[in-house]
Chain A
Amino acid sequence: MNALRRASWRLAVILAAAAASLAQAQRPEATEASVEAAFLYKFAGYVEWSPLAFPSDDSAFVISVMGSEEVAAELAKILPGRSVAGHPVVLRRLRDGESLRGTHLLFVGRMEPARLQAILRAAQQQGALAVTETDRGLELGAAINFVLAADRVGFEVSLEAAEKSGHRISSRMLTVARRVIPKA
């Protein structure tokens, strides 16, 4: 009897805790990848893209993903029909070594730093704004880097890197950034 009561009490506590943790989550179904995909698209809205990046008024806005099939998959779900600054958005999945030409926004998944650094350098040269999800992403050359803190996805910004790629990130976005590396 006592044991049963104690067990049922314990169950109630566990159920309440579960409910509380569910309520606190960003969304019940939200995964890290899906949040990052949504953020990636939103980043595009807070960047002042260089006019040089668009050969013509109807050329596409290209988001390229490298090294993260989950994020690419999430993007593929949300991008159709959307546009950035009047340009239709196109998703590209890139493998290592493939050209970054035409890419406006590049997401690179986790990989070894040396390789990552090379890709980021190439991205800067190609005028692509690079986003990473690595610990020292900004130091390696990314303009934006996702960070996970207290189970929530946040980001940090390097205005220096963004400038090198030829684009300007809106100051409004900086209010939400966890860390900002100013221009050189």
Chain B
Amino acid sequence: MLEPIRHSLRRKVILLVLSATVAALTLSALGLVVYDLRAYEQQWTSDLVTQAEILARASAPALAFDDRSTAATDLTLMKVRPQVHAAAIYTRGGDLFATYTRPGAEEIAFPQRPAADGYTIEGDELRLFRRVIEGGETIGTVYLRAAYVPWERLVDYLTILGVVMLASLALAALLSGWLQAAITVPILEVAHTAREVIDQRDYSLRARKTTDDEIGQLVDSFNAMLAEAGRRAEALREADRRKDEFLATLAHELRNPLAPLRNALEILRLSPSDPARAEKARAMMERQVNQMVRLVDDLLDVSRITTGKLAIRKSTTELQATLRDALETVRPFVAAAGHELALDIAAEPICVEGDSTRLAQVFSNLVNNAAKYTEPGGRIEVSLAKEGAEAVVRVRDNGIGLEPKSLASIFDMFVQVDRTLERTQAGLGVGLTLARRLVALHGGSLSVRSEGAGKGSEFEVRLPLAGAILPDSEKVRRADTGEEPRRILIADDNADFANSLGALLSGRGHEVRVVYDGAEALATAARFNPDFAFLDIGMPRVHGYEVARRLREAPGTAACVLVAVTGWGQEDDRQRAREAGFDRHLVKPAAPEDIETILKSY
């Protein structure tokens, strides 16, 4: 019986209400019965005493004047009380004077002599003697025998109790039905919402609140929990998405140097006796390897950040020297982009307790970012000053700036401001995260300000008083070799890759044109009418897809074999390339034999 109840709040509520009802009714009925049985005896005896008194008074004259027939007539008045089985009047001397027996009752043996005043209960009869007193004298005795049947009343009571109990139970069942609806329906609704959330993974669902009681609080808390779970799920998705992007970017960035390396190796193999070419190839390989080393260093720092093992070695450091070191490493990149670098360095030495190498890493990252996110020919200002008890380094540019909404997230791991296809400068999106963490380890702060998109930005490092290594991207001149009479256009913003591929193909006798952006590719193609065009997708100014589309539309290049060369090798990337009009799709680093195969197949 308990088993179904354990699993149902509804049944618990019903059981609670019903048992409370039954208990209350039974207890009150018991109390009433006990009270009533006592009251019944008292009431019935006092009633009978009164009866006897009236009879005594009425029959006194008959006794006084010795009139038996009148006495007998008086006794027949008892007919109106059917509970009175028998009655008798005794004379003063104790002799039977008159008797009465209820019609239809069996013969009754009256006591020979009257007893003293009072009553006795014998079986189901109450027997009572009462003296007849007239003028202060006892002139006789009245005797009554009446039914005494508390059991009948008890049975009546139990019958009434039964009926009341049934009615109460019906009412209680109705009430508990209503109660359970008030309690279990909202709870079931919460449970239902929880199931829906789990099934649909939709954290915007909310349980409906219908009451302000404890259940209402439960619904509120449940909804608050859902909101929190929703926020966390969203944060997890976002973190997951960023990690995926990071991995894609990482794969892309790690692959990028591989193609030029392979090309250089091929050049070395083809021209082992040409010292000038060998030297060019060797320098290119060195640059690409350095690029990979930096990427791997960044990766190691990312892992140190995520595992909390990023540490610094502190010593007294003069910031002027640190800043000079940092600028030294980025100056070539800044110069290559054609930016003007304006310095405002305080003359007096400014010292902090810190890790000179790590601080230089922070500064060069900031300047590198400024150069990266500013159109060529921009202006970058770097200042160092003492403000109160802090050393302040500011890096300001007049570049693409930041939307107000990106100001907060820019320091998050794997976030890159410019995610467009035209992204020219590679990076893992960990630089600012790392920089901020490093500054924090020095007890300082790193913040950003921007007036908005296109209005430049300013990064500010504040360090308590007491200083990198990022890419130096240098354009490499084109190199070409010739072999077969094919007209080939190569467009890639990775100059090393473009040049090395160009050199390789021209070395084989092809007529090759190498360009470094989309617009240039279109202009060159219009004049050159190539048979083949190897196009990078992520190019500056006009990206690969657009270039392909326009080449297909132009009459001179409509029949040109278009080959997409990209680091993105996912199926949808290939799909998109086909839609744009590409005939083939190569994933970097493209193997020379693959290119050879393509050239031979058309």
Contacts and interface: CB of A to CB of B under 8 A. Distances in A.
Nearest to B64: A42
A26 B61 contact: no
B135 A45 contact: yes
A172 B66 contact: no
B61 A154 contact: no
B134 A26 contact: no
A39 B65 contact: yes
A90 to B, nearest CB: 18
Given A176-B61, A176-B64, A176-B70, 11 more contacts: A39-B65, A42-B64, A45-B134, A155-B65, A170-B61, A172-B57, A172-B58, A173-B65, A176-B62, A176-B65, A176-B67
A173 B58 CA distance: 10
A172 B58 CA distance: 7
A33 B405 CA distance: 138
A39 B62 CA distance: 12
Given A45-B134, A45-B135, A172 B65 contact: no
B60 A42 contact: no
Contacts of B58: 172, 175
A26 B135 contact: no
B79 to A, nearest CB: 17
19 contacts: A39-B65, A42-B64, A42-B65, A45-B134, A45-B135, A46-B61, A46-B64, A152-B66, A153-B66, A154-B67, A170-B61, A172-B60, A172-B61, A173-B61, A175-B58, A176-B62, A176-B64, A176-B67, A176-B70
A11 to B, nearest CB: 29
B374 to A, nearest CB: 136
Interface string A33-57: 0010001001001100000000000
Interface residues of B, number: 13
B357 to A, nearest CB: 136
Interface string B34-63: 000000000000000000000001101110
A39 B65 CA distance: 7
Contacts, number: 33
Contacts of A42: 64-65
A26 B61 CA distance: 16
A161 to B, nearest CB: 19
B63 to A, nearest CB: 9
Given A45-B134, A45-B135, A26 B62 contact: no
B61 to A, nearest CB: 5
Nearest to A39: B65
Contacts of A155: 65
A176 B61 CA distance: 7
Interface string A132-155: 000000000000000000001111
A170 B58 CA distance: 12
Contacts of B67: 154, 176
Nearest to A44: B135
Contacts of B74: 175
Nearest to A174: B61
A109 B597 CA distance: 175
A31 B65 CA distance: 15
Contacts of A172: 57-58, 60-61
Contacts of B62: 175-176
A175 B70 contact: yes
A105 to B, nearest CB: 15
Nearest to A178: B67
Contacts of A154: 65, 67
A32 to B, nearest CB: 13
Contacts of A175: 58, 61-62, 70, 74
Given A45-B135, A172-B60, A26 B66 contact: yes
Contacts of A173: 61, 65
Contacts of B64: 42, 45-46, 176
A172 B64 CA distance: 11
Contacts of B61: 46, 170, 172-173, 175-176
Contacts of B135: 45
A35 B134 CA distance: 18
Contacts of A39: 65
B74 to A, nearest CB: 8
A170 B64 CA distance: 13
Nearest to B59: A175
A153 B61 CA distance: 14
A154 B64 CA distance: 11
Contacts of A170: 61
A82 B135 CA distance: 11
Interface string A43-76: 0011000000000000000000000000000000
Nearest to A153: B66
